[in-house]
């Protein structure tokens, strides 16, 4: 496995590769990332991971400085899974002020976009830069960041990138908490409490499978249940899987609806994101 920090060196290393599968990350790798790496191994002969904490996707009051940087441990975890690790500096990725950005579709103003202005634009811009640098045939993103995955997919399709975007399943702890680098910010008591997010989403899914069709009522009940436990709820939303547009009430007994329940909540100082797919 090679660890490369410059774009020129990376391009030289990848120049003769014809089946590159790429997993972009911000490092501090956990089993969720490693499952994406294993998926990438199924899709390419040369597997590249990037590790870059992207300043462009953090708001001024967010955790860019605090975000855990663990390059050595990350590289140890990537042994046997990656052929190349690309770990550039901020200066390598942004040698001059970045004034060119990807303009996103209206769906990027909702959900994460409504709560974290500029986050998805910064994410999409660095993803486009990384895809241009690595030039993979396949790129793998986690379904945990469902809106990110949708936007990256639309980016690849609408900007005609010759890249297949593949979504990897969320990996969870035994009590259901979705793995995330930010989980380590949780106190012991918050960590015990955190499982209630997935339980709430599962409860909504079960209600839908048992015939509940009033999505607004379901969302309201979930928000109230989380708030009653002292959580600050950014959103709980039932959306279409395909475009993330809202569904307030389902019509048509015979129509099949592929939906996803998305939630973002704050438990103490930690922001947790999760989602559950439901087909009814």
Q: Is there a contact between 275 and 144 (Cβ–Cβ < 8 Å)?
A: yes
Q: Which residue in the list 30, 33, 119, 153 is annotated as catalytic?
A: 33
Considering only 10, 25, 170, 200, the residue that binds ligand PAF (CB under 6 A) is 25
Contact status: 263 vs ligand PAF (CB under 6 A): no
Contact flag: residue 26 with ligand PAF (CB under 6 A): yes
Residues 39-98 interacting with ligand PAF (rule: CB under 6 A): 54, 57
Residue 274 as a binder of ligand PAF (CB under 6 A): the answer is no
List the beta bridge partners of residue 84: 2, 48
Q: Which is nearer to ligand PAF, 126 or 133 (CB)?
A: 126
To ligand PAF, the closest distance from the beta carbon of 245 in angstroms equals 22
Q: CB of 261: closest distance to ligand PAF in angstroms? A: 20
Does residue 238 come out as left (phi exceeding 0), alpha (psi in the -120 to 50 range) or beta? beta
Q: Which of residues 137-156 bind ligand PAF (CB under 6 A)?
A: 145, 148
Q: Which CB, 26 or 236, lies closer to ligand PAF?
A: 26
Give dist(CA 191, CA 176) in Å, integer.
11
Burial 54-93 (b: 16+ CB within 10 A, else e): bebbbeeeebeeebeeeeeebbebbeebbbbbbbbeeebb
Q: Judged by CB, which is closer to ligand PAF: 152, or 215?
A: 152
Q: What is the dihedral of CA 250, 253, 256, 262, to 10 degrees?
A: 30
How far, in Å, CA of 81 to CA of 41, rounded? 7
* Cβ at position 11, least distance to ligand PAF in Å: 19
Using CB under 6 A, which of 14, 40, 111, 126 touches ligand PAF?
126
Question: To 10 degrees, the CA torsion angle through 22, 26, 28, 33?
Answer: -30
What length is written for the chain? Answer: 280
- The size of the interface with ligand PAF (CB under 6 A), counted in residues, is 10
Quote the least distance from Cβ 216 to ligand PAF, whole Å: 30
Taking CB under 6 A as the criterion, the residue among 78, 123, 133, 238 binding ligand PAF is: 123
CB 69 within 8 A of CB 28: yes
| Alpha helices for 163-242 (secondary structure H) | 188-193, 195-209, 215-228
Q: Is 30 a catalytic residue?
A: no
Residue 54 or 270 with smaller CB distance to ligand PAF: 54
User: Cα–Cα distance between 185 and 101 in angstroms, integer?
Assistant: 31
Among 10, 14, 22, 24, binds ligand PAF (CB under 6 A): 24
Q: Which stretch binds ligand PAF (CB under 6 A): 20-28, 72-80, 222-230, 271-279?
A: 20-28
Judged by the rule CB under 6 A, the positions of this chain that interact with ligand PAF are 24-26, 54, 57, 123, 126-127, 145, 148
Active site residue ranges: 33
């Amino acid at each position: 496995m090679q660890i490369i920090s410059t774009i020129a060196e990376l391009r030289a290393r990848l120049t003769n590769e014809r089946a590159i599968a790429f997993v972009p990350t911000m490092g501090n790798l956990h089993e969720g990332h490693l499952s994406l790496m294993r998926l990438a191994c199924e899709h390419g002969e040369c597997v590249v991971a990037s590790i870059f904490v992207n300043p462009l996707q953090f708001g001024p009051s967010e955790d860019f400085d605090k975000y855990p940087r663990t390059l050595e441990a990350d590289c140890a975890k990537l042994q046997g899974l990656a052929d190349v690790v690309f770990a550039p500096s901020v200066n390598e990725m942004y040698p001059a002020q970045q004034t060119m950005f990807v303009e996103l579709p209206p769906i990027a103003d909702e959900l994460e976009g409504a709560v974290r202005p500029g986050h998805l634009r910064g994410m999409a811009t660095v993803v486009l830069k990384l895809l241009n640098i690595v030039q993979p045939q396949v790129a793998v993103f986690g379904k945990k960041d469902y809106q990110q995955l949708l936007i990256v997919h639309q980016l690849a399709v609408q900007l005609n990138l010759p890249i297949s975007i593949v979504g990897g399943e969320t990996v969870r702890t035994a009590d259901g908490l979705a793995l995330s680098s930010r989980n380590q910010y949780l106190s012991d008591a918050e960590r015990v409490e955190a499982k209630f997010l997935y339980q709430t989403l599962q409860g909504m899914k079960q209600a839908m499978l048992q015939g509940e069709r009033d999505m607004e009522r379901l969302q309201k009940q979930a928000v109230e249940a989380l708030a009653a436990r002292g959580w600050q709820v950014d959103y709980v939303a039932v959306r279409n899987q395909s475009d993330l547009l809202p569904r307030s009430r389902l019509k048509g007994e015979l129509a099949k609806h592929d939906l996803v329940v998305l939630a973002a909540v704050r438990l103490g100082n930690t922001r947790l994101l999760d989602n559950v797919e439901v087909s009814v």
